[in-house]
Structure formats: C-alpha cells, structure tokens
Structure 1
Amino acid sequence: MNPQAEELNKIIQAKNPVIYDLLSAKGKNIFFPKKGILGQTADAKGTRINATIGAAVEDNGSPMRLESIESNIKLDPSLVFPYAPSFGRPDIRAKWQSMIFEKNPSLQGKTLSLPVVTNALTHGVSMAGYLFVDEGDQVIVPDLFWGNYNLILTHAYGAQLSKFNLFKDGGFDLEAFRAKLAEGGIGKKILILNFPNNPTGYTPTQAEIKAIVGIIKESAEAGNKIVVFSDDAYFGLVYEEGIEPESIFAPLSDLHENVLALKIDGPTKEDYVWGFRVGFMTYGVKGGDAELYGALEAKTGGAVRGNISNAANVSQSLLLSAFENEAYHAQKEAKFEIMNTRYQAVKEVLKDDKYQQYFTALPYNSGYFMCVQLAEGLDGEQVRQILIEKYSIGLINLNNVLRVAFSAVAASDVKELFEGIYNACKDAAQ
C-alpha cells in the first residue's frame, strides 16, 4: 500500500474506525497524490518560467486557445480552458456547501465535509461504489430504483442489489425496510436512498422520514456499520404539503458514529443543466471533524483523479456565475412553478375513475416522474409499442409499470397523454 494511502487510513482509523471498515479494498488503497508530478507542480506555482503542467500557454502566460472556441464563451479564458482541480474548484465547492446548508436548515451548526466535485451524479454514484463497495457486497435499494445502479454497482463493482418493497398502503413500506436492514446479521450495510425517487416520483412524508431515520439508528445501535448513499438528483422538487422538503442526508449526517452519510447531488436536475456534468459528494457523520473529512475528501479526490482527472472547468465556472446572479432564485422559482403546474395537471386528469379499469397510479408527489401500474393481464411492452405506433406517445416500461416523465410534457398535453395510455391498454386488451 502506498504510504500516502496509509497516512489517510491512520487518520480515519483514529477518528472513526467504523468508516475505515466501511471502505472497500479500493477505498482503503486510494489516496490523492501530494508528491510526484502534482506535488512538483504545486511547488513550482508562481515561478517565472513554469514548465511543469501538461497544458499549453500563450506567450503572455494566458491559456492557449482557439479563437473559434473562445468567441462562443463569455467568460475569462482562465476560467474555461485550464484544468480544474481533481477535488473541484475551491470556490464552487464552498458555494455548494453553503447552498446545502441553505436548502436544509436543520443542518445549521453541524459539521460536514467540503463537497468534492464529480462528473455529475452518475459519476458520483460510481465513485461511491469505488470507495465503499467490494465484489459480492449487498447494496440495499427499493424494488423501484434507477436502472443505472445496475450498470454502476453490479456490473462495474460486482455488487448485488438487495431489494425491499417500496410501497404499502399508499406510502413507504417501513416494515419491509426494517426487515431488509436486519437481513444477514450484524455487519457492514450499504444503502441507497433516492428521494424524490426515480422512477416513481415519491418522497416520504415528514413522519415517514423520521421513521426511516429511526430504523437506521436502531440498526446502528445494534452494531451495524452503515454507509448511506443519499442520491439527491431531484432534490427540491416537492409539490405537496407534509412531504419532507429537506434531504434525508440532513438527519443522517450526525445520527450515529456507525452511520456515514454521503450526499450525492448536483445541479443537473435541480438547475436544468443536464449536459454540464457537474455533481458533488459530501460526507457527514456524528463526531466528524475537519481532519476526518479531509482524509475522506482526499480519498474521493484521488478516486476522481484516477478515473477522469477532473470535472469540466467551464461548467463549474458557468454554474458559479449563475449561483451568484441576483436573478438566480427568481428564475429557479419560475421553472419550479412550470413543473408544479404539470404535476397538478397529472393529478387532475387522474381523478377520472375510468382509468382504473386499466391502470392505477403508484404514490407520487415530487420530482420528474410518476408511474402507473398496469392491470393484470396487460403486457407493458405491448402497450408501450402501441403507444408509439398508434398514438405517437413515448413512455418507459418497467415490468408492467409505465414511467411517465411529466417533466417533459406540457400541462396542456397531459390529458391527451393519459387518454393515449387508456386507449392503448384498451387496444391491448382486445
């Protein structure tokens, strides 16, 4: 093992040995190199002639660039063309952390790591897998989950997804969740919680979140060592009263010394910048301090460097500029109202009882999506094909559950959408 990895491991073991035990073999071995090329480059910073970094500069010292590219970007070239740090730019890391505190008021007074920048949330989940998942590990997920977890965790890291029933009596199935967490005896537990959930668009109520957190605490008190990946891709898009507006990361971040909370989030869905590919990984644990978090950040930064080197500088610069724009919050609220209007249109249309002949809506209250469960005897793939060929409507079929991305449907088209599903089901039933 590299001495730099050993140094980080000693810090983690001294501060919280549970976190060391949660790390995968890769996680234990990874480090951010302070020596070698990076260290020598850092030493040379400020020299008059700097021939260390693998980038080209103009004779005046500014980044070398093509005018055909520069002419399309209204930013200082120094914020666009050079590499960003593997940890992410310090300014956007600090800004995103302050935004996490603003969006989650119950975090006030708590100590968190600085977010580490990833190439959006898919990469964040992958880096979480790198750091915490060994081949054969069980990763607990609900039975309705984002399909990319399979590619990221199962096929890349050899994990096994262990599913629990998500819904019971129109809400979160707390009994199934408790039973799943208790499976396999006392030991290491890896858990993914994704609220608002993809594909269902469900966020637990405030009472349900309190119960979920309580179950996790009970499990930790029983001796389990738990890392929770909080996939907050659709954070903030909550359309009903009584639904928890904060991330479950907030109460988990100082719940118990045996619970490491990892918030994986970013502006992709929150700020409608799908192509920017910027995400963040933030850690929280009871008793966590700057030294412990610094070690975790270093391992995360090392994993990022060894995987993609760094996330795009231009995307980080554009986002930081937007976050600091005085019109940002008003513009974001305007887009939220459009999303809310689409959600309300779905609710209104589904008041018609006739649809229940062929499908019923699964619980939904937030995010980009909602799902309908097809009636027994209908084939989801057949219905999907009929929708495309006869009604020019595209949906996702998930084993006879149809996912509807109302985020991509004008409110005025919602009625036609569900009439199409109804008619396609009728066609399939004949």
Structure 2
Amino acid sequence: MNPQAAELNSVIQAKSTPVFELLSERGKNIFFPKKGILGQTAEAKGTKINATIGAAIEDDGTPMRLEAVASKINMDPSLVFPYAPSFGRPDIRAKWKSMIYEKNPSIAGVELSLPVVTNALTHGISMAGYMFADAQDEIIVPDLFWGNYNLTLTNAYGCSLGKFNLFKDGGFDLESFETKLNEGGIGKKIVILNFPNNPSGYTPTVEEQDAIVAVIKKAADAGNKIVTITDDAYFGLVYEEGIATESIFAPLSQLHENVLAVKVDGATKEDYVWGFRVGFITYGIKGGDAELYSALESKTAGAIRGNISNAANISQSLLLSAFESEEYAQQKEAKYHIMQKRYDAVKKALTEEKYKECFEAIPYNSGYFMCVQLAEGLVGDEVRQLLITKYGIGVIALGNVLRVAFAAVAASDVKELFDGIYNACKDCKK
C-alpha cells in the first residue's frame, strides 16, 4: 500500500472506524498524490519560468488556444482551457455546498464534506462504487431502478444488485425494504436511494421518508455499518403536496455514527445541462469533522484522477457563472412550471377510464418519468415496437412496464401519447 493511502486510512480510522470498514479494498488503497509530478507542480506555482505544467502556454502567459475555438467562447481563457483540479474547481465546490444547504434547510449547521466534482452522475455512482463496493458486496436497490447501475456497479466492480419491492398499496413498500436491509445478519450494507426514482417518477411522502430513515437507524443501532448512496439526479422536481422536498441525504447525514451518507447529484437534470457533465459527491455522517471529510475527499479525488483525471473546466465555469446570475432562480422556476404543466397533463389524461383495460399507472409524483403497467397478456416490447411503426410514438419497455419520459413531451401532446399507447395495446390484443 502506498504510504499516502496508509496515511489517509489512519486519519479515517482515528475519526470513524465504521467509515473505514465501509471502504472497499480499492477505497482503502486509493489516495490523491501530493508528491511526485503533482506535488512538484504545486511547489513551482508562481515561479518566473514554470516548465512543470503539462499544458502549452502562449508567450504572454495565457493558455495556448486556437482562435477557431476561442472565438466561439465569450469567457476568460483561464476559465476555459486549463485543466481543472481533480477535486473540481474550488469556487464551484463551495457554491454547490452552499446550495445543498439552501435546498435542504433541515441540515443548517450540520458539517458536511466539500463536494468533489465528478463527470456528472453516472461517473459519481461509479466513483461511489469504487470507494465502497467490493466484488462480494450486494448493493440494495428497488426492483425499479436505473439500468445503468448494472454497468457502473455490477459489470465494473463485480458486486451484485439485491432488489426490494418498491411499491405496495400505492406507496413505498417499507416492509420489503426493511426485510432486504436486514438480510444476511449484521455487517456491511450498501443502499442506493434514488428519489425521484428513475423509472417510476416516485418520491416518498414526508411520512414515508421519515419511516425509511427510521428503518435505517434501527439497522444501524443493531450494529450494521451502512453506506447510503442517494442518487439525487432529479432532485427538486416534485409536483404534489405532502411529498418530501428535501433529499433523504439530509436526515441520513446526521442520523448515526454507523451510517455514512453519500450524496451523488449534479446540474445535469436539475439545471437542464445534460451535456455539461458536471456532478458532485458529498459526504455526511453523524460526528463527521473536517479532517475525516478531507481524507474522504482526497481518496475520491484520487479515484477520479486515476479514472478521468478531472471534469471539464469550461462546464464548471459556465455553471458557476449561471449560479451567481441574478436571473438564475427566476429562469429555473420558469422551467419548473413547464415541467409541472406536463405532469398535470399526464394526470389529466390518465383519468380516462378506458385506459384501465390496457394499462394502469404505477405511482408517480415527481421527476422526468412515469410508468404504466400493461394488462396481463400484453408484451411490452411488442407494444413498444408497434407504437413506433404505426403511431410514431417512442417509449421505453422494461418488461411489461412502459416508461414514459413526460419531461420530453409537450403538454399538448400528452393525450395523443396515451391514446397511442391504448390503441397499440388494443391492436396487440387482436
């Protein structure tokens, strides 16, 4: 083991034995290199002639660049062309942390890590897997989950996905979740909580979220060491009263000394910048302090450096500029109202009684998606293909569940969308 990794491990063990025990073997061995090339480059910062940097510099000291590129970008070249740190730009990390507190007021005063910048959420989930998942580990997910977990976690790290039933009687199946969490006796547990859920578009009610947190606390009280990865890709897009508006990361980050909360989030869906690829990993645990979090940040940055080196500087700069703009909040609110209108159009369309002979909606209240469960005898992929060829409609078939991305559909087209699904189902029944 590299001495720099051992040094970080010593800090983590001294501050939190449960956190150290939750680290994967990769997580224990990783470190951010403060010596070698990076260390020597840092020591040379500010020198008159700096020949350490692996980037070309113009004679005037600015980043070397092609005018064919630079002429298209109305920003200071220093914010665009140089590498960003593997940790992410310090200014956007600080800003995103302040935004986490703004969006989750119940954690005011709770000490969290400084977010580490990832190449959006897929990379964030992958880095969480790198840090905490070994091949023998099972990661607990609902039976309706984002399919990319298979690639980022199972294929990449060899761990398995253990499923619990997401819904019962029109709401979150707390009993199934608790049973799954406590399977296999006392030990290390890894849980992914994705709300609003992809594909169902469901966020727990306030009462359900409190109950989920209570189940996790009970398991931690029993001696389980638990890492909860909150996939907050669609955070903030809640369309009904009584639904939890704060991330479940908020209560989990201060719940128990045996529960490490890992928040994976980003601007991708929240701020409608899918191609920017800027996400964040943030840590929280009861009793966590700056020294513990700094060690976790360093390990995470080391994993990122060894994986992609760093996230794009221009994307971070553009986002920070937007976050600090006076128009940001108003513009984001306007887009939310468009999403709300589309959601409301879905709700209205699904009041059509005839649809029930072919499909019924799975619980939904938030996010980008909703799903319908096809009636018995129908085959999801057959319906999907007929929708394309005959009706000019595209949906995703997940077995006999169809996922509808209403975020991508104008409110005025929603009725035609569901009429098409109904008619395709009728055709398949003939």
- The TM tier, using the shorter chain, reads over 0.9
Task: Measure how far apart 1:18 and its partner are.
Answer: 0.5
Per the TM alignment, residue 211 of structure 1 is displaced from its structure 2 partner at its CA by 0.0
Q: Distance in 2 between the 1:46 and 1:343 partners?
A: 54
Corresponding position of 1:395: 395
SS in 2 for 1:228: strand
Distance, in Å, in 2 between the alignment partners of 1:385 and 1:119 is: 33
Q: What TM-score results when the alignment is normalised by the length of structure 1?
A: 1.00
Q: Which residue of 1 aligns with 2:404?
A: 404
Q: Provide the residue aligned with 1:48 in structure 2.
A: 48
Q: Does 1:12 align with 2:12?
A: yes
Letter in 2 for 1:336: Y
Distance 1:298 1:161 in 2: 27
What's the counterpart of residue 382 of structure 1?
382
In 2, Cα distance between equivalents of 1:134 and 1:270: 31
TM-score w.r.t. structure 2 length? Answer: 1.00
Could you report, residue by residue, the CA deviation over 1:233-257 in whole angstroms, capped at 9, with x for unpaired residues?
0000000000000000000001000
Query: Which residue of the partner structure matches residue 352 of structure 1?
Result: 352
Report how many residues are paired. Answer: 430
The match for 2:426 is 426
Partners of 2:341 and 2:200 lie apart in 1 by: 18
User: SS of the residue aligned with 1:326?
Assistant: coil
Question: Partner residue of 1:82?
Answer: 82
Instruction: State the AA in 2 paired with 1:182.
Output: N
One-letter amino acid matched to 1:86: S
Would you say 1:339 and 2:339 are equivalent positions?
yes
Which SS does the other structure have where 1:307 is aligned? coil
SS in 1 for 2:341: helix
Match of 1:162 in 2: 162
CA distance in 1, matches of 2:216, 2:399: 30
Describe the superposition over 1:345-401 as per-residue Cα deviations: whole angstroms up to 9, x where unpaired: 000010111100000000000000000000000000100010000000000000110
- For 1:30 and 1:160, the matched residues in 2 are separated by 22
Q: Map residues 167-206 of structure 1 onto 2, 5 A cutoff.
A: 167-206=167-206
Kindly indicate whether residue 316 of structure 2 is the aligned counterpart of residue 322 of structure 1: no
In 1: Cα distance, 2:342 partner to 2:272 partner: 16
- Residue equivalent to 1:65: 65
1:415 is aligned to: 415
The residue number in structure 1 matching 2:294 is 294
- 1:357 alignment partner AA: E
Structure 2 CA distance, aligned partners of 1:373 and 1:104?
Answer: 33
Q: Work out the CA distance in 2 between the residues paired with 1:36 and 1:28.
A: 20
CA distance in structure 2 between the aligned counterparts of 1:104 and 1:140, rounded to whole angstroms: 25
Distance 1:290 1:108 in 2: 16
| Secondary structure, counterpart of 2:192 in structure 1 | strand
CA distance in 1, matches of 2:15, 2:226: 16
Aligned to 1:226: 226
Letter in 1 for 2:144: L
Deviations 1:71-124 (A, max 9, x none): 111100000000000000000000000000000000101000000000000000
- Structure 2: segments with no counterpart, 5+ residues: none
Q: Report the equivalent of 1:134.
A: 134
1:259 aligns with 2:263: no
What SS is found at the alignment partner of 2:131? helix
CA distance in 2, matches of 1:80, 1:245: 35
- Letter in structure 2 aligned against 1:54: G
Deviation track 1:157-189 (CA, whole Å, cap 9, x = no partner) reads: 001000000000000000000000010100000
1:235 corresponding residue in structure 2: 235
> 2-side partners of 1:15 and 1:105: how far apart?
26
What is the CA–CA distance in structure 1 between the aligned matches of 2:226 and 2:216, rounded to whole Å?
A: 8
Pairing of 1:30-49 with structure 2 (within 5 A): 30-49=30-49
Distance (Å, rounded) in 2 between the aligned partners of 1:414 and 1:54: 52
Structure 2 counterpart of 1:36, which letter? Answer: G
**Residues 309-331 of structure 1, C-alpha deviations (whole Å, 9 max, x = no match):** 00000000000000000000000
DSSP 3-state at the match of 1:242 = coil
- Equivalences for 1:134-153 in 2 at 5 Å? 134-153=134-153
Secondary structure of the corresponding residue to residue 256 of structure 2: coil
- Percent of paired sites with the same residue: 76
Deviation at 1:136, TM superposition (A): 2.2
**Partners of 1:231 and 1:337 in 2: how far apart?**
23
User: Following the alignment from structure 1 to structure 2, what is the Cα–Cα distance between the partners of residues 71 and 136?
Assistant: 51
Tell me the secondary structure at the aligned position of residue 237 of structure 2: coil
Paired amino acid for 1:142: P
Match of 2:124 in 1: 124
Q: Once the 2 structures are TM-superposed, how far is the Cα of residue 271 of structure 1 from its aligned partner?
A: 0.2
Q: What does 1:202-221 correspond to in 2, within 5 Å? A: 202-221=202-221
Measured in 2, the distance between the counterparts of 1:426 and 1:3 equals: 66
Q: Give SS of 2:306's match.
A: helix
1:304 aligns with 2:304: yes
Partners of 1:252 and 1:74 lie apart in 2 by 41
Moved over 6 A (4+): none
Show CA shifts across 1:40-79 (max 9, x none): 0000000000000100000011000000100111100000
Cα RMSD for the two superposed structures: 0.3
Code of the residue aligned with 2:327 in structure 1: it is A
Aligned letter for 1:81? F
Provide the secondary structure at the position in 2 that maps to 1:65. Answer: coil
Gaps of 5+ in 1: none
- Superposed CA offset, 1:279-326 (max 9, x none): 000000000000000000000000000000000000000000000000
Deviations 1:207-230 (A, max 9, x none): 000000000000000000000000
Distance 1:136 1:119 in 2: 27
